[in-house]
Amino acid sequence: MTTTLVGKFEMSTPASTAPPSPRPSSPASIAPPTLATPDTPRAFEMSRSSSITSPEETGLFEASDNTEAFDSYPDAGVLAWTQVASAFALFFTTMGGIYSWGVFQDALVARGLAPSATLAFIGSVQVALEAVFAIPFGRLVRAYGPRRVAIIGSLCTGLGPIIAGSCVDNFVALLLTEGLLYGLGAALCFFSVATLPSQYFLRRRNQATGLVYAGSGVGGAVFSVCTGQLLKRVSLVWTFRIIGLVMMAINLPAALTLKARVAKQPFRSKTKSKAQIFDASLFKDARFVLLLIGTAIALFPLFVPPFFLPLYGTSIGLSTTTSSLLLAGYNLASAGGRIGFGLGADALLGSLNSLSLCLLLVGLSTLLIWPFATSVTPLVLFAVINGFCAGGMFSLMPGTVGSVFGTRRLGVVFSMLVSSWAPGYFLGPAVAGWLLQAYGGPDRGAGAYRPAILYAGTLSLVAAACVIAVRLLQSRDLWKKV
């Protein structure tokens, strides 16, 4: 993008003979344009303007460049809400499928394929690939647009479960199909739409983003119940296949309607810059470092409840149907949290305040309710509170990044943050599974889960402390909407 200087000005007699006040100088300041007269040819004027480039063209941003990417935002309209609806559909299937993995895991444990700690690794791979490929997939979306990337992702998320249906007695094959292939497709779909609402909404940004991210919770609830019912009526093989066909049928039409407002950034351009995919200057900003550390820690415990609630339910004597309904309730609460915290952030608290509250409540509910939930009522209470707050964390991230660092750098900053989540995605549920096995396994009842619960709750509180520190660096005014 090149800034063009216009050589046409209105001349007026100054009201005072006092010299004009000097302009503040900076390295990026631009010399005032020259009038186009016979003594100053237009060609010379335009040659000077051609040397002035924008941050979008160079890919370089100052650490304090927290400006918006557009002069105006629709904040409404058919096209804007169509993007929200399509993004919701993609989250409904891809992320909802990940959130309902606990039902498949419970069925595979009962089948005797592998211990819960081993099978939890498949779910960990599904979510971890989102973080591992955050930077390259984010770059793919900026180069080719969300539509093409989401179409490829839709095919992968459909084919993964379909092929996995033929591999239910082979852990490695399940890891490659349901873990790797499905996970790659989910990551492609995620980055196609994760920040898309921020391109269309400003005043309602958290609301729109919350609606999109609510698709994960609603999808997790629906797929948890449907998977549980399918397992009763058809075989595990056909349950995988039917889920894959449903996902493909929903995802492909949704992907075809996606449209970005930002211009594409080809891989091969005249101005190559590493800052298009990675901005090292961000590490000089304490807010970014603390946000990166805090959210990276938060991902270790965040998927422990949805992956282990069905197994925990059966361990304390609940039926498999009740256990799958518990997971459905967790996911519905998660959907409500994504919308509720989005609305609350826009109207009352702000994104950063809301994110701090989310992580704090996730930790407290894990430590104060789950260890004592040995019957249906307290377990439902835990699932609702923890799911509501955990869901808010995901939906608030784009709004938090946009409010702290500006939407102009939203794609780069968001990709860098998500890439730091890979260890938590990979190891978080797996560590909980290892702790469970070390203390006797699911057959030992609720007591065997308590070390894993303590691990999850403690890490959530540490993550909350990091985000609260970012909040204080942003503003010392505790009552300010941030």
Three-state SS for 211? helix
**Domain residue ranges of the chain, discontinuous segments joined by +:** 76-262, 280-481
Alpha-helical regions (H) of 64-181: 78-90, 96-99, 101-111, 116-132, 134-144, 146-164, 171-174
Q: Phi-psi region for residue 268, left (φ > 0), alpha (ψ -120 to 50) or beta?
A: beta
User: Quick one: pLDDT band at residue 11, thresholds 50, 70, 90?
Assistant: very low
User: Quick one: pLDDT band at residue 164, thresholds 50, 70, 90?
Assistant: very high
Q: Which residue's structure tokens are 């102009």?
A: 408
- Give, as one character, the DSSP assignment of residue 19: P
Architecture of the domain whose range is 280-481: Up-down Bundle (1.20)
Q: Which residue's structure tokens are 């518990």?
A: 326
Q: What's the chain's average pLDDT?
A: 82
Cα–Cα distance for residue pair 99/276, rounded to 1 Å: 32
How far is Cα of residue 354 from the mean position of the Cα atoms in its chain?
Answer: 16
Question: Looking at this protein, which amino acid is placed at residue 161?
Answer: P
Q: Which one is predicted more confidently, 366 or 195? A: 366
What pLDDT shows up at residue 414?
Answer: 85
Closest CA relative to residue 400, chosen from 388, 418, 385, 384: 418
What pLDDT shows up at residue 217?
Answer: 82
What pLDDT shows up at residue 269?
Answer: 58
User: Quick one: pLDDT band at residue 59, thresholds 50, 70, 90?
Assistant: very low
pLDDT, tens digit, 9 for 90 and up, residues 97-126: 998 888 898 899 889 898 877 888 898 889
What pLDDT shows up at residue 273?
Answer: 47
Q: What's the CATH number for 76-262?
A: 1.20.1250.20
Q: Which one is predicted more confidently, 448 or 407? A: 448
Q: Are 170 and 313 in contact (CB under 8 A)?
A: no
Cα–Cα distance for residue pair 122/105, rounded to 1 Å: 9
What pLDDT shows up at residue 469?
Answer: 95
Which of 191-195, 224-228, 296-300, 404-408 has the highest average model confidence (pLDDT)?
296-300
Lowest mean pLDDT among 97-106, 111-120, 270-279, 288-297: 270-279
pLDDT, tens digit, 9 for 90 and up, residues 350-389: 889 999 999 999 999 999 999 999 999 999 999 999 999 9
Lowest mean pLDDT among 219-233, 294-308, 393-407: 393-407
**Average pLDDT estimate for 221-232:** 91
pLDDT, tens digit, 9 for 90 and up, residues 420-473: 888 998 889 889 999 998 998 888 889 999 999 999 999 999 999 999 999 999
What pLDDT shows up at residue 203?
Answer: 79
Same topology between domain 76-262 and domain 280-481: yes
What pLDDT shows up at residue 138?
Answer: 83
Q: Are 333 and 388 in contact (CB under 8 A)?
A: yes
Q: Are 282 and 66 in contact (CB under 8 A)?
A: no
The residues that bridge with 37 in the sheet, in sequence order, are 40
Lowest mean pLDDT among 90-104, 230-244, 275-289: 275-289
Q: Are 145 and 83 in contact (CB under 8 A)?
A: no
What pLDDT shows up at residue 48?
Answer: 39
Lowest mean pLDDT among 73-77, 252-256, 472-476: 73-77
User: Quick one: pLDDT band at residue 169, thresholds 50, 70, 90?
Assistant: very high
Task: Give me the percent of the chain exceeding a pLDDT of 90.
Answer: 44
What pLDDT shows up at residue 443?
Answer: 85
Q: Which one is predicted more confidently, 277 or 148? A: 148
